[in-house]
Chains A and B, each alone.
Chain A
Protein backbone atom coordinates (compact mmCIF):
# COMPACT_ATOMS: atom_id res chain seq x y z
CA UNK A 1 0.00 0.00 0.00
CA UNK A 2 3.00 2.30 0.34
CA UNK A 3 2.84 3.01 -3.36
CA UNK A 4 -0.54 4.72 -3.09
CA UNK A 5 0.82 7.37 -0.75
CA UNK A 6 3.42 8.41 -3.34
CA UNK A 7 0.84 9.45 -5.91
CA UNK A 8 0.10 13.06 -6.77
CA UNK A 9 -3.35 14.58 -6.55
CA UNK A 10 -3.59 14.72 -10.34
CA UNK A 11 -2.63 11.03 -10.58
CA UNK A 12 -5.21 10.13 -7.95
CA UNK A 13 -7.92 12.03 -9.78
CA UNK A 14 -7.15 10.03 -12.92
CA UNK A 15 -6.55 6.74 -11.11
CA UNK A 16 -9.86 6.94 -9.26
CA UNK A 17 -11.63 7.74 -12.52
CA UNK A 18 -10.10 4.67 -14.14
CA UNK A 19 -10.99 2.50 -11.15
CA UNK A 20 -7.35 1.58 -10.46
CA UNK A 21 -8.00 1.88 -6.73
CA UNK A 22 -10.73 3.17 -4.43
CA UNK A 23 -10.86 6.14 -2.12
CA UNK A 24 -11.11 3.72 0.81
CA UNK A 25 -7.86 2.03 -0.26
CA UNK A 26 -6.14 5.39 -0.57
CA UNK A 27 -7.50 6.58 2.76
CA UNK A 28 -6.40 3.41 4.54
CA UNK A 29 -2.92 3.75 3.04
CA UNK A 30 -2.59 7.31 4.34
CA UNK A 31 -4.04 6.44 7.75
CA UNK A 32 -1.44 3.67 7.95
CA UNK A 33 1.38 6.05 7.02
CA UNK A 34 0.15 8.56 9.62
CA UNK A 35 0.25 5.86 12.27
CA UNK A 36 3.72 4.70 11.18
CA UNK A 37 5.13 8.22 11.34
CA UNK A 38 3.40 9.53 14.43
CA UNK A 39 6.79 10.63 15.73
CA UNK A 40 6.74 13.60 13.33
CA UNK A 41 3.79 14.98 15.33
CA UNK A 42 2.43 16.40 12.08
CA UNK A 43 -1.19 15.91 13.14
CA UNK A 44 -2.78 17.16 16.36
CA UNK A 45 -5.72 14.81 15.82
CA UNK A 46 -6.40 12.24 13.16
CA UNK A 47 -10.00 11.64 12.15
CA UNK A 48 -10.03 8.08 10.77
CA UNK A 49 -13.77 7.60 11.30
CA UNK A 50 -14.66 10.77 9.42
CA UNK A 51 -12.11 9.89 6.73
CA UNK A 52 -13.34 6.37 6.12
CA UNK A 53 -16.97 7.46 6.13
CA UNK A 54 -16.28 10.11 3.52
CA UNK A 55 -14.10 7.75 1.48
CA UNK A 56 -16.89 5.14 1.44
CA UNK A 57 -19.39 7.78 0.39
CA UNK A 58 -17.06 8.89 -2.38
CA UNK A 59 -16.63 5.34 -3.68
CA UNK A 60 -20.40 4.79 -3.54
CA UNK A 61 -21.00 7.99 -5.53
CA UNK A 62 -18.42 7.03 -8.10
CA UNK A 63 -19.98 3.58 -8.48
CA UNK A 64 -23.20 5.36 -9.48
CA UNK A 65 -21.31 7.53 -11.96
CA UNK A 66 -21.40 10.65 -9.79
CA UNK A 67 -18.23 12.66 -9.19
CA UNK A 68 -18.33 15.91 -7.22
CA UNK A 69 -15.09 17.31 -8.60
CA UNK A 70 -11.40 16.65 -9.22
CA UNK A 71 -10.74 16.00 -5.52
CA UNK A 72 -13.62 13.60 -4.93
CA UNK A 73 -12.16 10.76 -2.87
CA UNK A 74 -8.75 12.45 -2.39
CA UNK A 75 -7.38 12.17 1.19
CA UNK A 76 -6.15 15.54 2.45
CA UNK A 77 -5.08 17.12 5.73
CA UNK A 78 -6.58 20.29 7.17
CA UNK A 79 -4.47 22.74 9.16
CA UNK A 80 -5.86 22.91 12.69
CA UNK A 81 -6.74 26.55 12.19
CA UNK A 82 -9.81 25.72 10.05
CA UNK A 83 -12.99 25.06 12.00
CA UNK A 84 -14.21 21.58 11.15
CA UNK A 85 -17.66 20.48 12.18
CA UNK A 86 -17.50 18.07 15.11
CA UNK A 87 -13.71 17.64 14.90
CA UNK A 88 -11.55 19.37 17.51
CA UNK A 89 -10.06 22.66 16.35
CA UNK A 90 -7.37 24.13 18.60
CA UNK A 91 -5.19 26.58 16.62
CA UNK A 92 -2.47 24.62 18.50
CA UNK A 93 -3.45 26.49 21.66
CA UNK A 94 -4.38 25.19 25.09
CA UNK A 95 -7.05 27.87 25.23
CA UNK A 96 -9.07 25.99 22.60
CA UNK A 97 -8.39 22.45 23.78
CA UNK A 98 -11.51 20.36 23.33
CA UNK A 99 -13.26 22.95 21.16
CA UNK A 100 -15.51 21.19 18.66
CA UNK A 101 -16.89 23.67 16.14
CA UNK A 102 -20.56 23.33 15.33
CA UNK A 103 -19.89 24.52 11.78
CA UNK A 104 -17.42 24.07 8.95
CA UNK A 105 -15.11 26.81 7.65
CA UNK A 106 -15.91 27.86 4.09
CA UNK A 107 -12.63 26.55 2.68
CA UNK A 108 -12.71 23.14 4.39
CA UNK A 109 -16.43 23.05 3.56
CA UNK A 110 -15.70 23.57 -0.12
CA UNK A 111 -13.18 20.73 -0.06
CA UNK A 112 -15.70 18.57 1.79
CA UNK A 113 -18.53 19.29 -0.60
CA UNK A 114 -16.11 18.60 -3.45
CA UNK A 115 -15.72 15.09 -2.04
CA UNK A 116 -12.26 15.44 -0.46
CA UNK A 117 -11.56 13.13 2.47
CA UNK A 118 -10.27 14.74 5.67
CA UNK A 119 -7.57 12.62 7.33
CA UNK A 120 -7.03 14.87 10.33
CA UNK A 121 -5.98 18.26 11.62
CA UNK A 122 -2.36 19.26 11.22
CA UNK A 123 -0.16 20.87 13.83
CA UNK A 124 0.96 24.49 13.60
CA UNK A 125 2.52 27.26 15.62
CA UNK A 126 0.08 28.46 18.27
CA UNK A 127 -2.46 30.74 16.54
CA UNK A 128 -0.17 30.52 13.48
CA UNK A 129 2.39 32.72 15.23
CA UNK A 130 5.79 31.33 14.41
CA UNK A 131 8.22 30.28 11.71
CA UNK A 132 9.42 26.94 13.08
CA UNK A 133 6.40 25.11 14.50
CA UNK A 134 7.96 25.25 17.95
CA UNK A 135 5.22 27.30 19.64
CA UNK A 136 2.45 24.67 19.44
CA UNK A 137 0.88 23.64 22.74
CA UNK A 138 0.74 20.12 21.29
CA UNK A 139 4.48 19.74 20.74
CA UNK A 140 6.97 20.50 18.00
CA UNK A 141 6.62 19.11 14.51
CA UNK A 142 9.69 17.24 13.28
CA UNK A 143 10.72 17.65 9.67
CA UNK A 144 10.98 14.41 7.67
CA UNK A 145 14.29 15.82 6.36
CA UNK A 146 17.63 15.37 8.10
CA UNK A 147 20.85 17.15 7.15
CA UNK A 148 23.62 14.98 5.73
CA UNK A 149 26.20 16.29 8.17
CA UNK A 150 24.11 16.45 11.33
CA UNK A 151 21.52 14.00 12.74
CA UNK A 152 19.69 16.66 14.76
CA UNK A 153 15.93 16.95 14.35
CA UNK A 154 15.01 19.89 12.12
CA UNK A 155 12.05 22.24 12.10
CA UNK A 156 9.59 21.95 9.19
CA UNK A 157 9.14 25.73 9.19
CA UNK A 158 6.00 27.46 10.29
CA UNK A 159 3.37 28.18 10.93
CA UNK A 160 1.88 25.51 8.63
CA UNK A 161 4.61 23.09 9.74
CA UNK A 162 2.34 20.10 10.30
CA UNK A 163 0.79 20.47 6.86
CA UNK A 164 4.24 20.83 5.27
CA UNK A 165 5.66 17.78 7.08
CA UNK A 166 2.57 15.73 6.25
CA UNK A 167 2.67 16.56 2.53
CA UNK A 168 6.43 16.05 2.35
CA UNK A 169 6.38 12.74 4.25
CA UNK A 170 3.43 11.42 2.20
CA UNK A 171 1.06 11.43 5.18
CA UNK A 172 -1.60 13.03 2.98
CA UNK A 173 -2.03 13.83 -0.69
CA UNK A 174 -2.19 17.56 -0.08
CA UNK A 175 -3.02 19.89 2.79
CA UNK A 176 -4.52 23.26 3.49
CA UNK A 177 -2.30 25.95 4.92
CA UNK A 178 -2.77 29.54 5.93
CA UNK A 179 -0.31 32.34 5.33
CA UNK A 180 -0.18 35.62 7.24
CA UNK A 181 3.48 36.55 6.69
CA UNK A 182 4.90 33.44 5.06
CA UNK A 183 3.26 30.55 6.90
CA UNK A 184 2.56 28.56 3.73
CA UNK A 185 5.62 29.50 1.71
CA UNK A 186 8.45 29.19 4.25
CA UNK A 187 7.48 25.69 5.49
CA UNK A 188 6.96 24.63 1.87
CA UNK A 189 10.53 25.74 1.13
CA UNK A 190 11.92 23.94 4.20
CA UNK A 191 10.25 20.64 3.31
CA UNK A 192 10.66 20.58 -0.46
CA UNK A 193 7.02 21.02 -1.41
CA UNK A 194 4.85 23.53 -3.26
CA UNK A 195 2.95 26.17 -1.29
CA UNK A 196 0.71 28.88 -2.72
CA UNK A 197 -0.55 31.94 -0.89
CA UNK A 198 -3.34 33.27 -3.09
CA UNK A 199 -4.29 36.92 -3.47
CA UNK A 200 -5.88 38.38 -0.34
CA UNK A 201 -9.61 37.84 -0.86
CA UNK A 202 -9.28 34.83 -3.17
CA UNK A 203 -10.18 32.28 -0.47
CA UNK A 204 -12.77 32.98 2.20
CA UNK A 205 -11.48 33.53 5.72
CA UNK A 206 -14.83 32.53 7.25
CA UNK A 207 -14.35 29.84 9.89
CA UNK A 208 -10.56 30.15 9.96
CA UNK A 209 -9.30 31.06 13.44
CA UNK A 210 -8.25 34.67 12.90
CA UNK A 211 -4.68 35.85 13.49
CA UNK A 212 -4.28 39.10 11.52
CA UNK A 213 -7.40 39.61 9.46
CA UNK A 214 -5.97 42.01 6.87
CA UNK A 215 -3.21 39.50 6.06
CA UNK A 216 -4.56 35.97 6.66
CA UNK A 217 -5.12 33.92 3.53
CA UNK A 218 -5.68 30.19 3.01
CA UNK A 219 -3.92 28.24 0.29
CA UNK A 220 -2.89 24.79 -0.94
CA UNK A 221 0.26 22.87 0.06
CA UNK A 222 1.03 20.09 -2.39
CA UNK A 223 3.80 18.04 -3.93
CA UNK A 224 3.44 19.46 -7.45
CA UNK A 225 2.47 22.70 -9.14
CA UNK A 226 -0.38 20.97 -10.97
CA UNK A 227 -1.76 19.72 -7.66
CA UNK A 228 -1.67 23.26 -6.28
CA UNK A 229 -3.65 24.47 -9.30
CA UNK A 230 -6.26 21.74 -8.82
CA UNK A 231 -6.58 22.31 -5.09
CA UNK A 232 -6.73 26.11 -5.31
CA UNK A 233 -9.71 25.73 -7.62
CA UNK A 234 -11.45 23.71 -4.91
CA UNK A 235 -10.64 26.17 -2.10
CA UNK A 236 -11.21 29.56 -3.74
CA UNK A 237 -14.29 31.57 -4.57
CA UNK A 238 -16.54 34.37 -3.38
CA UNK A 239 -18.20 33.90 0.00
CA UNK A 240 -20.83 36.31 1.28
CA UNK A 241 -19.86 35.37 4.83
CA UNK A 242 -16.44 37.04 4.46
CA UNK A 243 -16.78 40.74 3.67
CA UNK A 244 -13.23 40.81 2.26
CA UNK A 245 -13.85 37.87 -0.03
CA UNK A 246 -13.44 38.92 -3.66
CA UNK A 247 -16.22 38.76 -6.20
CA UNK A 248 -13.96 37.79 -9.06
CA UNK A 249 -14.15 35.13 -11.70
CA UNK A 250 -12.74 31.76 -10.73
CA UNK A 251 -10.62 30.48 -13.61
CA UNK A 252 -9.68 26.88 -14.30
CA UNK A 253 -6.22 27.21 -12.74
CA UNK A 254 -4.97 23.94 -14.20
CA UNK A 255 -5.45 25.33 -17.70
CA UNK A 256 -2.83 27.95 -16.86
CA UNK A 257 -0.14 25.26 -16.99
CA UNK A 258 0.65 25.69 -20.66
CA UNK A 259 4.39 25.26 -20.26
CA UNK A 260 4.91 28.37 -22.38
CA UNK A 261 6.42 31.47 -20.79
CA UNK A 262 8.00 32.98 -23.88
CA UNK A 263 7.96 36.74 -23.66
CA UNK A 264 7.00 36.79 -19.99
CA UNK A 265 8.69 39.61 -18.11
CA UNK A 266 10.12 38.62 -14.76
CA UNK A 267 11.54 41.12 -12.28
CA UNK A 268 14.46 40.49 -9.94
CA UNK A 269 14.23 42.91 -7.00
CA UNK A 270 17.69 44.12 -6.09
CA UNK A 271 16.64 44.76 -2.47
CA UNK A 272 16.21 41.00 -1.93
CA UNK A 273 19.96 40.56 -2.30
CA UNK A 274 21.26 42.17 0.88
CA UNK A 275 24.91 41.98 1.91
CA UNK A 276 25.47 38.69 3.59
CA UNK A 277 22.79 36.78 1.67
CA UNK A 278 23.53 33.07 2.06
CA UNK A 279 25.62 32.08 -0.99
CA UNK A 280 23.64 28.89 -1.60
CA UNK A 281 20.41 30.85 -1.65
CA UNK A 282 21.94 33.40 -4.02
CA UNK A 283 23.20 30.63 -6.31
CA UNK A 284 19.77 28.96 -6.44
CA UNK A 285 18.17 32.30 -7.23
CA UNK A 286 20.63 32.79 -10.13
CA UNK A 287 19.82 29.28 -11.31
CA UNK A 288 16.12 30.18 -11.25
CA UNK A 289 16.83 33.17 -13.46
CA UNK A 290 18.62 30.89 -15.95
CA UNK A 291 15.66 28.46 -16.03
CA UNK A 292 13.32 31.32 -16.85
CA UNK A 293 15.62 32.73 -19.54
CA UNK A 294 16.11 29.29 -21.10
CA UNK A 295 12.34 29.01 -21.42
CA UNK A 296 12.13 32.32 -23.23
CA UNK A 297 11.23 34.72 -20.44
CA UNK A 298 12.78 38.15 -20.24
CA UNK A 299 14.42 38.86 -16.90
CA UNK A 300 14.97 42.43 -15.71
CA UNK A 301 16.19 44.02 -12.51
CA UNK A 302 13.57 45.95 -10.57
CA UNK A 303 13.42 47.87 -7.33
CA UNK A 304 11.05 47.45 -4.39
CA UNK A 305 12.51 50.29 -2.33
CA UNK A 306 10.70 49.73 0.98
CA UNK A 307 11.55 46.03 1.25
CA UNK A 308 13.84 46.46 4.25
CA UNK A 309 11.04 48.07 6.26
CA UNK A 310 8.51 45.31 5.60
CA UNK A 311 9.33 43.12 8.60
CA UNK A 312 9.10 45.96 11.11
CA UNK A 313 5.81 47.04 9.53
CA UNK A 314 4.51 43.50 9.78
CA UNK A 315 5.51 43.19 13.43
CA UNK A 316 3.34 46.18 14.26
CA UNK A 317 0.35 45.44 12.03
CA UNK A 318 0.08 41.69 12.71
CA UNK A 319 0.34 41.85 16.54
CA UNK A 320 -2.08 44.81 16.61
CA UNK A 321 -4.68 42.83 14.69
CA UNK A 322 -3.91 39.72 16.73
CA UNK A 323 -4.39 41.49 20.05
CA UNK A 324 -7.82 42.53 18.87
CA UNK A 325 -8.76 39.16 17.34
CA UNK A 326 -7.60 37.16 20.35
CA UNK A 327 -9.68 39.25 22.76
CA UNK A 328 -12.47 36.76 22.09
CA UNK A 329 -10.73 34.04 24.13
CA UNK A 330 -12.14 35.06 27.46
CA UNK A 331 -13.29 31.79 28.99
CA UNK A 332 -16.97 32.54 28.40
CA UNK A 333 -18.12 31.05 25.10
CA UNK A 334 -15.66 28.24 24.37
CA UNK A 335 -12.38 26.73 25.43
CA UNK A 336 -10.52 27.00 28.68
CA UNK A 337 -11.81 28.80 31.77
CA UNK A 338 -9.76 29.31 34.93
CA UNK A 339 -11.79 30.43 37.91
CA UNK A 340 -10.98 30.64 41.56
CA UNK A 341 -13.69 32.64 43.13
CA UNK A 342 -12.55 36.00 41.75
CA UNK A 343 -14.45 38.54 39.73
CA UNK A 344 -14.96 38.60 35.97
CA UNK A 345 -11.72 40.45 35.19
CA UNK A 346 -9.73 38.00 37.28
CA UNK A 347 -11.36 35.13 35.46
CA UNK A 348 -10.37 36.68 32.11
CA UNK A 349 -6.81 37.34 33.24
CA UNK A 350 -6.20 33.91 34.72
CA UNK A 351 -7.83 32.11 31.81
CA UNK A 352 -5.75 33.96 29.23
CA UNK A 353 -2.55 33.67 31.26
CA UNK A 354 -2.96 29.89 31.46
CA UNK A 355 -4.36 29.35 27.97
CA UNK A 356 -1.93 31.30 25.80
CA UNK A 357 1.71 30.37 25.21
CA UNK A 358 4.72 32.62 25.45
CA UNK A 359 4.95 33.86 21.85
CA UNK A 360 1.21 34.52 21.67
CA UNK A 361 1.34 36.55 24.89
CA UNK A 362 4.33 38.47 23.60
CA UNK A 363 2.45 39.44 20.45
CA UNK A 364 -0.75 40.31 22.30
CA UNK A 365 1.24 42.63 24.57
CA UNK A 366 3.07 44.28 21.65
CA UNK A 367 -0.22 44.68 19.80
CA UNK A 368 -1.99 46.10 22.82
CA UNK A 369 0.86 48.55 23.38
CA UNK A 370 1.03 49.84 19.78
CA UNK A 371 -2.73 50.38 19.79
CA UNK A 372 -2.84 52.06 23.20
CA UNK A 373 -3.54 55.73 23.77
CA UNK A 374 -0.47 57.85 23.18
CA UNK A 375 1.37 55.29 21.03
CA UNK A 376 -1.17 54.60 18.30
CA UNK A 377 0.12 57.31 15.94
CA UNK A 378 3.80 56.60 16.49
CA UNK A 379 3.49 52.87 15.85
CA UNK A 380 0.27 51.65 14.31
CA UNK A 381 -0.59 54.62 12.11
CA UNK A 382 3.03 54.88 10.98
CA UNK A 383 3.05 51.17 10.07
CA UNK A 384 -0.17 51.57 8.09
CA UNK A 385 1.48 54.34 6.08
CA UNK A 386 4.62 52.34 5.39
CA UNK A 387 2.38 49.45 4.38
CA UNK A 388 0.81 51.72 1.78
CA UNK A 389 4.29 52.44 0.41
CA UNK A 390 5.17 48.73 0.28
CA UNK A 391 1.96 47.99 -1.63
CA UNK A 392 2.78 50.90 -3.93
CA UNK A 393 6.25 49.38 -4.62
CA UNK A 394 4.59 46.24 -5.96
CA UNK A 395 2.00 48.17 -7.97
CA UNK A 396 4.82 50.14 -9.63
CA UNK A 397 6.85 47.00 -10.29
CA UNK A 398 3.90 45.25 -11.92
CA UNK A 399 3.64 48.08 -14.44
CA UNK A 400 6.99 46.85 -15.77
CA UNK A 401 6.95 43.09 -15.14
CA UNK A 402 4.47 40.21 -15.06
CA UNK A 403 6.09 38.32 -12.22
CA UNK A 404 8.77 38.68 -9.56
CA UNK A 405 11.27 35.95 -8.65
CA UNK A 406 12.97 35.82 -5.22
CA UNK A 407 14.19 33.20 -2.78
CA UNK A 408 11.51 32.01 -0.32
CA UNK A 409 13.57 31.88 2.86
CA UNK A 410 17.02 33.16 3.82
CA UNK A 411 18.33 29.69 4.79
CA UNK A 412 17.54 25.99 4.78
CA UNK A 413 15.84 24.37 7.79
CA UNK A 414 17.44 24.75 11.21
CA UNK A 415 17.49 22.41 14.23
CA UNK A 416 14.52 22.42 16.62
CA UNK A 417 16.91 22.69 19.56
CA UNK A 418 18.53 25.80 18.09
CA UNK A 419 15.18 27.38 17.18
CA UNK A 420 14.06 27.37 20.78
CA UNK A 421 17.09 29.41 21.77
CA UNK A 422 17.03 32.24 19.26
CA UNK A 423 15.65 35.63 20.21
CA UNK A 424 12.30 36.71 18.71
CA UNK A 425 13.74 39.12 16.14
CA UNK A 426 16.16 36.54 14.70
CA UNK A 427 13.20 34.19 14.34
CA UNK A 428 11.13 36.91 12.67
CA UNK A 429 13.90 37.34 10.04
CA UNK A 430 12.88 33.98 8.55
CA UNK A 431 10.02 35.79 6.89
CA UNK A 432 12.09 38.60 5.39
CA UNK A 433 11.34 37.51 1.79
CA UNK A 434 7.72 36.46 2.31
CA UNK A 435 6.29 39.29 4.40
CA UNK A 436 6.34 42.04 1.72
CA UNK A 437 3.93 40.15 -0.57
CA UNK A 438 1.65 39.53 2.41
CA UNK A 439 1.53 43.22 3.28
CA UNK A 440 0.78 44.04 -0.35
CA UNK A 441 -1.91 41.33 -0.55
CA UNK A 442 -0.45 39.92 -3.77
CA UNK A 443 -0.28 36.19 -4.55
CA UNK A 444 3.00 34.34 -4.08
CA UNK A 445 4.15 30.75 -4.35
CA UNK A 446 7.11 28.72 -3.18
CA UNK A 447 8.39 25.85 -5.28
CA UNK A 448 11.30 23.53 -4.51
CA UNK A 449 14.38 24.62 -6.44
CA UNK A 450 17.09 22.28 -5.24
CA UNK A 451 19.04 21.06 -2.24
CA UNK A 452 21.55 22.85 -0.06
CA UNK A 453 25.03 21.39 0.42
CA UNK A 454 23.65 19.76 3.57
CA UNK A 455 21.04 17.99 1.45
CA UNK A 456 18.07 20.09 2.57
CA UNK A 457 15.41 21.62 0.33
CA UNK A 458 15.56 25.25 -0.79
CA UNK A 459 12.63 27.16 -2.26
CA UNK A 460 12.14 29.84 -4.86
CA UNK A 461 9.29 32.32 -4.64
CA UNK A 462 7.21 33.70 -7.51
CA UNK A 463 5.13 36.78 -6.76
CA UNK A 464 2.34 37.89 -9.11
CA UNK A 465 -0.23 40.59 -9.72
CA UNK A 466 -3.43 40.60 -7.66
CA UNK A 467 -5.75 37.80 -8.83
CA UNK A 468 -3.20 36.55 -11.34
CA UNK A 469 -2.34 33.22 -9.74
CA UNK A 470 -2.49 31.81 -13.27
CA UNK A 471 0.72 33.50 -14.39
CA UNK A 472 2.45 32.36 -11.21
CA UNK A 473 1.29 28.78 -11.83
CA UNK A 474 2.36 28.91 -15.48
CA UNK A 475 5.90 30.03 -14.63
CA UNK A 476 6.04 27.69 -11.61
CA UNK A 477 5.18 24.77 -13.89
CA UNK A 478 8.05 25.66 -16.21
CA UNK A 479 10.51 26.07 -13.34
CA UNK A 480 9.36 22.84 -11.71
CA UNK A 481 10.11 20.98 -14.94
CA UNK A 482 13.53 22.64 -15.23
CA UNK A 483 14.44 22.01 -11.58
CA UNK A 484 13.59 18.30 -11.85
CA UNK A 485 13.34 18.26 -8.06
CA UNK A 486 12.97 14.61 -7.19
CA UNK A 487 14.63 14.37 -3.79
CA UNK A 488 12.59 12.51 -1.20
CA UNK A 489 12.71 13.26 2.51
CA UNK A 490 15.34 11.37 4.51
CA UNK A 491 12.53 9.61 6.36
CA UNK A 492 11.20 7.98 3.20
CA UNK A 493 14.48 6.85 1.64
CA UNK A 494 14.77 3.15 1.13
CA UNK A 495 11.01 2.72 1.05
CA UNK A 496 9.15 1.85 -2.09
Chain B
Protein backbone atom coordinates (compact mmCIF):
# COMPACT_ATOMS: atom_id res chain seq x y z
CA UNK B 1 0.00 0.00 0.00
CA UNK B 2 1.11 3.52 -0.64
CA UNK B 3 0.60 6.73 1.29
CA UNK B 4 -0.53 9.80 -0.61
CA UNK B 5 -0.45 13.41 0.48
CA UNK B 6 -4.01 13.34 1.77
CA UNK B 7 -3.24 10.35 4.00
CA UNK B 8 -0.14 12.01 5.41
CA UNK B 9 -2.22 15.09 6.20
CA UNK B 10 -4.80 12.91 7.90
CA UNK B 11 -2.20 11.05 10.00
CA UNK B 12 -0.68 14.41 10.85
CA UNK B 13 -4.00 15.53 12.26
CA UNK B 14 -4.52 12.26 14.16
CA UNK B 15 -1.05 12.80 15.69
CA UNK B 16 -1.79 16.53 16.18
CA UNK B 17 1.27 17.49 14.16
CA UNK B 18 0.99 20.45 11.84
CA UNK B 19 2.69 19.56 8.55
CA UNK B 20 3.42 22.37 6.10
CA UNK B 21 1.96 21.72 2.65
CA UNK B 22 5.43 21.73 1.05
CA UNK B 23 6.63 18.91 3.33
CA UNK B 24 3.80 16.50 2.50
CA UNK B 25 5.35 14.99 -0.63
CA UNK B 26 8.73 14.41 0.96
CA UNK B 27 7.20 12.85 4.06
CA UNK B 28 4.92 10.62 1.98
CA UNK B 29 8.00 9.38 0.14
CA UNK B 30 9.95 8.72 3.37
CA UNK B 31 7.06 7.04 5.14
CA UNK B 32 6.37 4.87 2.10
CA UNK B 33 10.00 3.78 2.15
CA UNK B 34 9.75 2.70 5.79
CA UNK B 35 6.35 1.06 5.38
CA UNK B 36 7.49 -0.79 2.27
CA UNK B 37 10.44 -2.11 4.26
CA UNK B 38 8.41 -3.28 7.29
CA UNK B 39 5.97 -5.06 5.00
CA UNK B 40 8.53 -7.89 4.83
CA UNK B 41 6.77 -9.17 7.97
CA UNK B 42 3.99 -10.42 5.72
CA UNK B 43 6.39 -13.23 4.72
CA UNK B 44 6.41 -14.63 8.27
CA UNK B 45 3.93 -17.40 8.97
CA UNK B 46 2.13 -16.33 12.14
CA UNK B 47 -0.81 -18.71 11.84
CA UNK B 48 -1.94 -19.60 15.37
CA UNK B 49 0.62 -17.30 17.06
CA UNK B 50 -0.82 -15.18 19.87
CA UNK B 51 0.30 -11.52 19.73
CA UNK B 52 2.31 -10.21 22.66
CA UNK B 53 2.12 -6.70 24.03
CA UNK B 54 4.97 -7.40 26.40
CA UNK B 55 7.45 -10.22 26.81
CA UNK B 56 7.73 -9.71 30.53
CA UNK B 57 7.06 -13.03 32.19
CA UNK B 58 5.88 -11.35 35.34
CA UNK B 59 2.27 -11.22 36.38
CA UNK B 60 1.06 -7.72 37.07
CA UNK B 61 0.92 -7.32 40.82
CA UNK B 62 -1.96 -6.13 42.94
CA UNK B 63 -1.77 -3.21 45.27
CA UNK B 64 -4.14 -1.75 47.79
CA UNK B 65 -6.55 0.73 46.25
CA UNK B 66 -5.51 3.64 48.42
CA UNK B 67 -4.23 7.15 47.85
CA UNK B 68 -0.45 7.20 48.25
CA UNK B 69 0.40 10.55 46.76
CA UNK B 70 -1.07 13.99 46.16
CA UNK B 71 -1.86 17.26 47.90
CA UNK B 72 0.81 19.12 45.97
CA UNK B 73 -0.90 21.37 43.42
CA UNK B 74 2.05 23.80 43.31
CA UNK B 75 4.41 21.00 42.29
CA UNK B 76 1.98 19.67 39.70
CA UNK B 77 1.60 23.12 38.16
CA UNK B 78 5.24 24.17 38.54
CA UNK B 79 6.14 23.53 34.89
CA UNK B 80 2.85 24.62 33.33
CA UNK B 81 3.15 27.10 30.44
CA UNK B 82 -0.01 28.76 31.76
CA UNK B 83 -1.80 28.18 35.06
CA UNK B 84 -4.03 30.07 37.48
CA UNK B 85 -5.95 29.34 40.67
CA UNK B 86 -4.70 25.77 40.83
CA UNK B 87 -5.65 24.92 37.24
CA UNK B 88 -3.91 24.43 33.91
CA UNK B 89 -5.11 27.01 31.40
CA UNK B 90 -5.83 26.18 27.75
CA UNK B 91 -7.30 28.15 24.84
CA UNK B 92 -11.07 28.49 24.92
CA UNK B 93 -12.68 25.11 24.15
CA UNK B 94 -16.42 25.81 24.49
CA UNK B 95 -17.86 28.71 22.51
Contacts and interface: CB of A to CB of B under 8 A. Distances in A.
A425 to B, nearest CB: 5
Nearest to A103: B75
A383 B16 contact: no
Interface in B49-86: 49-58, 60-61, 63, 72, 75-76, 78-82
A466 B12 CA distance: 39
Contact of A368 (B11, B76, B81, B88): B11
Contacts of A347: 90-91
Contact of A336 (B42, B44, B81): B81
B51 A369 contact: no
B6 interface: no
A345 B81 contact: no
Given A309-B44, A381-B51, A388-B52, A362 B31 contact: yes
A453 interface: no
B59 to A, nearest CB: 9
Range, interface on chain A: 35 or more
A100 B77 CA distance: 11
B78 A100 contact: yes
A312 interface: yes
A388 B33 CA distance: 25
B56 A337 contact: no
Nearest to B61: A247
A83 to B, nearest CB: 11
10 contacts: A200-B56, A240-B61, A247-B58, A332-B80, A339-B91, A343-B92, A352-B15, A353-B19, A365-B27, A372-B11
Most A CB contacts (10 A, CB to CB) among B79, B88, B93 go to B79
A187 B43 CA distance: 32
Contacts of B11: 365, 368-369, 372
A349 interface: yes
Nearest to A319: B34
B16 A330 contact: yes
Contacts of B90: 332, 344, 347
B94 to A, nearest CB: 10
Interface of B: 3, 7-8, 11-19, 27, 30-31, 33-35, 37-44, 46, 49-58, 60-61, 63, 72, 75-76, 78-82, 88, 90-93
A365 B31 contact: yes
Nearest to A99: B79
A332 B81 contact: yes
A348 interface: yes
Nearest to A336: B81
Nearest to B72: A102
Q: Which 7 A-B pairs have the closest CB atoms?
A: A384-B51, A334-B79, A337-B81, A385-B46, A349-B18, A441-B55, A353-B18
A364 B27 CA distance: 12
A370 B79 CA distance: 32
Contact of A102 (B40, B41, B78): B78
A103 B81 CA distance: 18
B56 A240 contact: no
Contacts of A362: 27, 30-31, 34
B61 A344 contact: no
Given A201-B58, A244-B56, A331-B81, A383 B17 contact: no
A17 interface: no
Given A353-B17, A368-B15, A388-B52, A334 B41 contact: no
A214 B34 contact: no
Nearest to A385: B46
B16 A335 contact: no
Interface in A215-263: 240, 243-244, 246-247
Nearest to A372: B14
A165 interface: no
Contacts of B60: 243-244
Given A347-B90, A424-B33, 16 more contacts: A99-B79, A247-B58, A306-B44, A315-B38, A333-B80, A335-B81, A349-B16, A353-B19, A366-B34, A381-B51, A382-B42, A382-B46, A391-B52, A425-B33, A425-B37, A439-B55
B2 to A, nearest CB: 12
A316 interface: yes
